[in-house]
């Protein structure tokens, strides 16, 4: 099935869990947060949480940033 991850379409196994997605993305450090259809998915629930086709997924991490715009897109689409 297809889901949208960070703005890009991605094919994942049917009934894919959040934990599986993290593994597919090769994120090893664990210092991330995930939002699906604008709702936070707590890290403690990654194993149980299952995606549905077309889900809008954001996977974020902390980067250096001050007051001014930093490199990389924010969440807003207007920028």
In whole angstroms, how close is the CB of 54 to other proteins at the nearest point?
18
Q: Using CA atoms, how far apart are residues 72 and 49, in angstroms rounded to an integer? A: 27
Q: Using CA atoms, how far apart are residues 26 and 59, in angstroms rounded to an integer? A: 12
Nearer to other proteins among residue 11 and residue 63 (C-beta): 63
Report yes or no: 24 and 18 within 8 Å, Cβ to Cβ. no
62 in contact with other proteins (CB under 8 A): yes
Q: Which residues bind other proteins (CB under 8 A)?
A: 5-8, 25-29, 31-35, 38, 40, 42-43, 58-70, 72-76, 78-79
């Amino acid at each position: 099935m297809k889901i949208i991850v960070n703005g890009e379409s991605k094919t994942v196994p049917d009934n894919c869990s959040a934990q599986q997605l993290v593994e597919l993305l090769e994120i090893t450090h664990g210092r991330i947060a995930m939002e699906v259809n604008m709702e936070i998915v707590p890290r403690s629930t990654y194993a149980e949480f299952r995606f549905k086709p077309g889900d809008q997924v954001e996977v974020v991490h902390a980067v250096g940033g001050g007051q001014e715009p930093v490199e990389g897109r924010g969440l807003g689409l207007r920028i």
